[in-house]
Amino acid sequence: MSETYAVPTRVTQGSRGPIPSAEAYRETWLRAAANPDRFWLQIARERVVWRTAPTIGLEGGYREVRERPFTWFADGTLNVTETCLDQHLATRGDKTAILWEGDRPGETRTLTYLQLHAEVNRLANTLVSLGVRPDDRVILYMGMVPELAVAMLACARVGAIHSIVFGGFSAEALRDRVLDSGARVVLTQDEGPRGTKRVPLKATVDAGIEGLDVERVLVYRRTGGEVPWVAGRDLWWHEQVSSASPEFTAVERGAEDPLFILYTSGSTGKPKGVVHTSGGYLTYASYTHQVVFDVREDDVYACVADIGWITGHTYIVYGPLANGATTFMFESVPTYPDAGRYWDMVERHGISVFYTAPTAIRAIAAHGDDLVKRYDRSSLRVLGTVGEPINPDAWRWYYEVVGEGRCTIVDTWWQTETGGILIAPLAPATPTKPGSATLPLPGILPALVNQEGELQVGPSSGYLVITHPWPGQARTVFGDHERYVSTYFSNYEGLYFTGDGARRDGDGYYWITGRVDDVLNISGHRLGTAELESALLTVDSVAEVAVVGYPHQVKGQGVYAYVVLQPGFEASALVEEALNGAVRSIIGPFARVDLFQFVPGLPKTRSGKVMRRILRKVAEGEAEALGDLSTLADPSVVEVIKCGAKV
């Protein structure tokens, strides 16, 4: 059994959170498991500012999800911004809501709750003047500036549905999302500084929406760089918003009305628009943010993810602001100007709760301990990880070097579809084990099943499923409910299939072992193998391609591509460059293939199906454990692939 780390006493003492001890966790979890409906209804009424308080908890369930989505708090009405902003004005008006650090060290801005409230109202009035109405979809394609958070909240204020597209996505990826959502308004910025580069956000928008029915593009000026301009369509943020009224009456919404759509990669080439609702999502964001991180009134809370991903939605904007916290936004990258950037910010801003990805931890650790130890990190109390499983060595380095053995590590497991953290230590309560996500949160009922769907009891391994809905869970895929059902509920009847494998030890602790479907988790970013394969197949020299994941020392999981070339073409560095160029162009600069293996053919069954398990085993360095190959049409292909393996 892995070593167990007790909760540091500094964390436990003085905790004001609702679950301050292991005993309180056990009591709360059992109470929630006995009656999830009553548990979540009480949490919702306590944490959310309602116009009409709900009297109904859960309606429906997993077995009826094909006919209709389940609902939470369906008779409640609200506007989420009244929880995130208005309720704090009287008691926290002058408290810093958003603390921002830009690309250059020391370039900072602050917005108090009063200031943020006014800016959101100004933009809300502007959106209405541009024709945005409740239930309209608005695309946000911006960098990590405070105005992105303002834009999210302004959309929510007017009852519109925001859909953020990560600023690293290509014009083609942006176009797909505009088309699928039917958005007529796009908010962007001129450029996004990232280390030594400037990301051409406005130019990418222009390329992405060319020929589409987009009526307005509102542009925030960040760098002042020259950008293309379409008269009559494009408008400057500062010219439109600064003169707008700082007063706006929030639009009342139903608890089940959509709050946002977030597109995530799937096992087909088409990204799916995951829909999160207003009342249930906000309840879950608020609750999990406080209980996992033990957030206190005087904390400076820093989640250094990008808001383009679900982590930023829940744990930079909605969760922290619902709880009246000071939330930190970071525009740059952890290695600029050097790998000590995170700890420099911790010292300068007095950050007490710090949440980042294992990929970043491993990349920083590779630069040695000196860049950490030169900065004062005494303000740190809780250290979190998100996006992928953290390997035990990186966990120990984070705990011992960064946290000096006195901070709790909260290794959090969750997904875009879950809306918030499902399995994680609670900072003031849970003894931890390096590499384990530990225990489920109250109200979350996980299980392990084998391939036949049989529940596994006690210490075991299998597919991770959830047996009961929770409020933060996505309700559907935008415009394609059947895809939602087939993706998450068709594998095992009556269970939510997470797509992840896991094992459970004798203490009931969960260890996430990674994706078991055709989605790769690259540095916390989910990429569908079909997306990557489709991009690679646009290159003329490619006849066939299959993409799998493999263990990567820094990223956690890398991209391994098996490529069959057309007759007359030969493998070369130039071909590899062209292939990754296609991936960058179609998906975005953040996406790339790490290893190419050029092969004469792919292992296929007699019916023509590619046997991906063989390719995964070879890429994972387990070429001698391929199992039964009798169904292959040409087994000799496997020997060639094994001999040319790159790992």
- The CATH number of residue 259's host domain is 3.40.50.12780
Same domain, 415 and 527: no
Distance between CA 31 and CA 42 in Å, rounded?
12
DSSP string, 119-185: HHHHHHHHHHHTT--TT-EEEEE--SSHHHHHHHHHHHHHT-EEEE--TTS-HHHHHHHHHHHT--E
Is residue 13 predicted with pLDDT exceeding 50?
A: no
Same domain, 82 and 211: yes
Let me know if residue 399 belongs to a domain: yes
Is residue 554 predicted with pLDDT exceeding 80?
A: yes
The phi, psi pair for 218, rounded to 5°, reads -100, 125
289-293, 333-337, 610-614: range with lowest mean pLDDT: 610-614
Is residue 458 predicted with pLDDT exceeding 50?
A: yes
Distance between CA 191 and CA 209 in Å, rounded?
17
More confident residue, 186 or 461: 186
Q: Which residue type sits at 103?
A: D
According to DSSP, the β-strands at 192-194 and 353-356 are: unpaired
Q: What is the pLDDT of residue 9?
A: 57
More confident residue, 628 or 396: 396
Same domain, 167 and 215: yes
More confident residue, 523 or 89: 89
Let me know if residue 509 belongs to a domain: no
Distance between CA 618 and CA 597 in Å, rounded?
11
% of the chain residues with pLDDT over 70: 96
Same domain, 259 and 391: yes
Same domain, 294 and 265: yes
Mean pLDDT over 397-409 rounds to 97
Same domain, 306 and 448: yes
CB within 8 A of 319, min separation 6: which ones? 285, 286, 288, 289, 290, 420
Closest-CA residue to 464 (of 449, 442, 444, 452): 449
Average model confidence (pLDDT) for the chain?
Answer: 93
Same domain, 107 and 35: yes
CA atoms 199, 200, 201, 204: torsion sign? negative
Let me know if residue 8 belongs to a domain: no
Question: What's the total number of domains in the chain?
Answer: 2
2-16, 425-439, 462-476: range with lowest mean pLDDT: 2-16
Let me know if residue 135 belongs to a domain: yes
DSSP string, 514-546: EE-SSEEEETTEEEEHHHHHHHHTTSTTEEEEE
Q: What is the pLDDT of residue 631?
A: 58
The structure tokens listed for 610 are: 């590619």
Distance between CA 546 and CA 288 in Å, rounded?
38
Q: Count Cα neighbours of 314 within 13 Å in the Cβ-side half-sphere.
A: 33
CA angle (212, 218, 221) in 5-degree steps? 130
Mean pLDDT over 380-406 rounds to 93
How many C-beta atoms lie closer than 10 Å to residue 442's C-beta? 26
Mean pLDDT over 20-31 rounds to 96
Q: What residues make up the domain containing 480?
A: 17-50+72-432+444-498
Let me know if residue 61 belongs to a domain: no
Contact 469, 61 (CB under 8 A): yes
CA angle (556, 560, 566) in 5-degree steps? 165
| pLDDT tens profile 172-181 | 999 999 999 9
Give CA separation, 421 vs 4, 58, 424, 441, 549, in Å: 21, 19, 7, 8, 24
% of the chain residues with pLDDT over 90: 78
Same domain, 541 and 419: no
How many C-beta atoms lie closer than 10 Å to residue 262's C-beta? 25
Q: What is the pLDDT of residue 514?
A: 77
Q: What is the pLDDT of residue 264?
A: 87
Is residue 11 predicted with pLDDT exceeding 50?
A: no
Same domain, 402 and 527: no
Same domain, 395 and 283: yes
| Greatest distance between any 2 Cα atoms in the chain | 74
Let me know if residue 279 belongs to a domain: yes
Q: What is the pLDDT of residue 15?
A: 52
Q: With cut-offs at 50, 70 and 90, classify the pLDDT of residue 232.
A: very high
Q: What is the pLDDT of residue 636?
A: 87
Is residue 348 predicted with pLDDT exceeding 90?
A: yes
**Range ranked top by mean pLDDT from 209-213, 393-397, 617-621:** 209-213
Distance between CA 328 and CA 349 in Å, rounded?
9
How many C-beta atoms lie closer than 10 Å to residue 170's C-beta? 21
Let me know if residue 5 belongs to a domain: no
Same domain, 121 and 255: yes
Same domain, 482 and 540: no
Closest-CA residue to 88 (of 106, 112, 68): 112
Let me know if residue 12 belongs to a domain: no
Distance between CA 82 and CA 372 in Å, rounded?
40
Distance between CA 427 and CA 431 in Å, rounded?
9
The enclosing H or E element of 408 equals strand 408-411
Closest-CA residue to 488 (of 421, 417, 549, 414): 417
Q: What is the pLDDT of residue 606?
A: 56
Long-range contacts of 437-441 (CB under 8 A, 24+ apart): 437/389, 437/411, 437/412, 437/413, 437/509, 437/510, 437/511, 437/512, 438/411, 438/509, 438/510, 439/25, 439/29, 439/508, 439/509, 439/510, 440/29, 440/510, 441/29, 441/288, 441/291, 441/292
Distance between CA 341 and CA 336 in Å, rounded?
6
Q: With cut-offs at 50, 70 and 90, classify the pLDDT of residue 611.
A: confident
| pLDDT tens profile 116-172 | 999 999 999 999 999 999 999 999 999 999 999 999 999 999 999 999 999 988 999
CATH classification at residue 536: 3.30.300.30
Is residue 635 predicted with pLDDT exceeding 90?
A: no
